[in-house]
Structure 1
Amino acid sequence: MRWQRLTRSLRHSNYRIYFFGQLVSLNGTWMQNVAQAWLVYRLTESSFMLGLVSFLSLAPVLVFGLFGGVIADRLPRFRLFLGAQVLACLQALTLGLLTVTGLVTVEWIMLLALLLGLVHAVEIPARHTLVAMLVAKEDLHNAVALNSSTFNFARFLGPMLAGWLIALWGEGPVILLNALSFLAVILAILRIRVPVTPEKLERRQEGIWDGLRFAWQRPDLRYALMIVGAVSLFANPYLVLMPVFAREVYGGGSDLLGLLVGVAGLGALAGALRLAQREKGEGLERLIAGAGLLLAAALMLFAYMPWVGGALALVVVTGYAITTLVASTNTFLQLSAPDNLRGRVMSLFSVVFIGMSPVGNLLAGALAEGLGVQLTVLLLGAVCLGFALYYRGYLGRRREA
C-alpha cells in the first residue's frame, strides 16, 4: 500500500516515460557539475573562481527567468523543453571536447557556463509546468515529489560516479558522458503524446506582472518564496565550496568531493521520497518551517566538524532539509497557481530559488577567500536560522489572527 502511494503518478504512461528519461539524464548532469567544479579548482585553486563559474551558470535565470515563464505559458512547453535539452547536450559536448583535447581554459568554462544558464532560463519553468500536463490534478503533488526524487537520486549517484571516474579518466570523458545522457530525455520527450485541448491552446495574453501580482497578493506564497530565497542565497552555496572542504579541510581528492556531494543527494532523495508518500497536499507550510530550522542547525555544525564521518552525516541532513523545504514550496505553489498562470508562478519560483543561487555562490566564494571556508559556512547557517525563525513566527501570527 505504501509503495502504491509512493509511485501512483507512474501509472500515467506519459509521466512514466518522462520520469525514467529524466532519471538517466540528471545523473549525467550531476556528473558534469562535479567534473566542472574539480576542473575549475584544478586550473585556478581559487574558491572565488568556483563561485564565479557557478554564478555565470545560474545568473541568466535571475535576469531572464520571468521572461522564460511567459514563454512557457505562451508556447508549446514540450517543444521548448526539447529544444532546451538539445542545446544543453551541445554545451556538454563542446566543454567535454575542449577538455579532452587540452584546449580548455577557465575563460571557455565561464563562457559555456553562461550559455547554459541562458538555456536554463527557459528550460526550468517549461519543465515545472510540463509535469502538470502529464498527470491528473489529484496526483500532482506526488508527481512533483517524484520529480524531485529523480533529481536527488541523481544528485546522490552522479557525483560519486563522477569522483571515481575523474580519478580514473580525468574530467573530459565524464563531461562527455553527460552529453550522451541527454539522449535519454530527448528520446523520452519524443515518445510522449499529450492531447492538445482548446483549454491548452487558449494561451494567455497577460504578461510578467500577472504572475507577480498573483504571488504578491497571497501572503502565504510571499513568505514561502521568501524562505526559499534565503535557502538559495545562504544555504545552497555550501555545495560550491565542497572542493575546498575536500582538499584543504579533509585532505582528500576528487573521490572525497564526489562522496561529499553525493551524500547530500542521498539526504535529498530521502526528503523527496518522504514527500512523495504524503497522501494530500495539506500541512506543507509546517514542513517548510521545520526543514528551515533543521537546515540551519546542520550547516552550522558542519562548518567546523573535524571528523569526516561526522561531516558526511551532517551533509546528509542538510540535503534532506533543503529538499524538504524546496520541494514542499514547489508543490505548494503548483497547487495554488491556476493553469493560466502556472508558468509565470513557477518561473518566479525558479528566479527565487535558482536565480538567486549565483548571487549566493559569488558571495560565498568571496567570503571564503577572505574569512576561510569554515567561518563562511558558519555565518551562512546563522543567517538561515534567522530566516527560518522569522517564517515560523509568521505561521504563528497567522494562526492567532
Structure 2
Amino acid sequence: MDRTEEPVDALRRAGDTLADATVATLFERGEVGTFNTLMRHVSTAGSPLPDGLPDVAREYLAATAAPPPWVDWDVMERARLFFIDNNVHISTALSFASMPACYLVPHVARLLSATHGLNYPSKRMAETGQFTVHLMRPDAFEAGSRFIPAAQKVRLLHAAIRHHLVRENRWDTARLGTPICQEDMIGGQMFFSMLVLDSLHRLGIHMSTEGAEAYYYAWRVVGAMLGVDQETVPRDLTSARAFLDSYMVRYMGPSEEGAVLTRQLIDLYEEVVPGTFFDPIVSALIRHLIGDTCGDWLQVPRTAWDTVVKAVPHLLGVLETIEDRSPLGAWALDRIGHLTTVFELSSLTRGRVMHYAIPEHLKKDFGVSSSVPRTRRWTPPPPSAAA
C-alpha cells in the first residue's frame, strides 16, 4: 500500500460513517440508555430483537448482520483449525504482545484510558478473549453464534468514543485526526493478526504458511465487520509487514498512560497465575515478545526470569515436535491448550458473558495534550525499509 503523506492523512481523518451516524442519532434522541438496556438481551445472532429498540439501531443491526460478501469460507475454516492448533499460544501473544503494542502508541494509550472500563483491565482482556474465541467457533457466522452481535456492539462502542471526544472538544483533531480513525483501526487489526504471528514465530511455534495466511485473512474479515475499510488494508503478509513497521515507527513511544495500562495488565495476570513464584514470568514474557526498548518505554520491570524465558522457544519446540510426529500427542497438547485457554478466560470473566455497551460518559479526567499441514513452515516477512 502506498504510504505517502496524503493517503495517511486521509486515513487519519476517516472514521466509520455507518456506526458514527447511528450513535449520533441515538444520542440526539436520548435513546442510548434504552439501547444499552435492551441490547443486553441480544447476545446471539438471529435472536429476535426486543420491542422498543430504537429504529435507527434496528437499521444498523440489519445492515451489519452478515459478514462481507467476499469471504472465502474454505480459508476461514483453515483459520479456525489454525486457532485450535495454537489457541494457548495465540492467547499468550494477544495478552503479552498485542495489548502492550496498543499501549506503545501514546495517542492510543490515552484514548484507551478514556473509558471507565479500563479501571478494570480484566474486563477488556476478557472481552478480547471472548471475542476471539467466538470468532473461531465453527458456527461463528450462523444463527445462535455470539460473534456477530459482539462485533456489532464493539463497532458502536468505538463510534461512541469518537462521538464523546469530538463533541466535548477533548481530542486534538487538527493534530491527531479523528479518534479511532481508519489508520488506527488498521493498526489494531495488524496488532491482533500480524503481530500475533510474529510472536508465535518468536516463541518457536511451528506454523505452516497456509495457516499463517488464513489467520491473517480471518482478521481481515473481522476488520471489515468492525468498520475498517478493507480497500485500504494490506491484502497479504508482506504488505502487512510494511504497514505495521511503518505505523509503529511513525507513532510508537513512551507515555504515562501506556506505562499505567501495562502495569494494570501485569498486575492482572500476576493475580491469575497461582502463587507468587511465577509472577515475574509475566513481565519477562512481555519483554521477550516486544523487545527491551519497548519494554523500557512501558516500564516493564526487569527480572531474573528475563533470561529464563528465552528457553521457552526451545521447550515449545520440543512439544511441537512431539505434536508433529504423534497424533495422540497432538490431541493431548491441543486438549491441554484448550483447557488452559478456558481456565484463563474463566479467571478473567468469572463465568460471566461480557457485554459491550455504548458509554454515556467518558472519564472526566481524560485529556489528550499533544488442521493445516505443517509443511512449508511460515517465517515472518523481513523488516520493511520503514523500520
For Structure 1 versus Structure 2, the TM-score category normalised by the shorter chain is: under 0.3
Q: TM-score, normalised by structure 2?
A: 0.27
Q: Which has the higher helix share?
A: 1
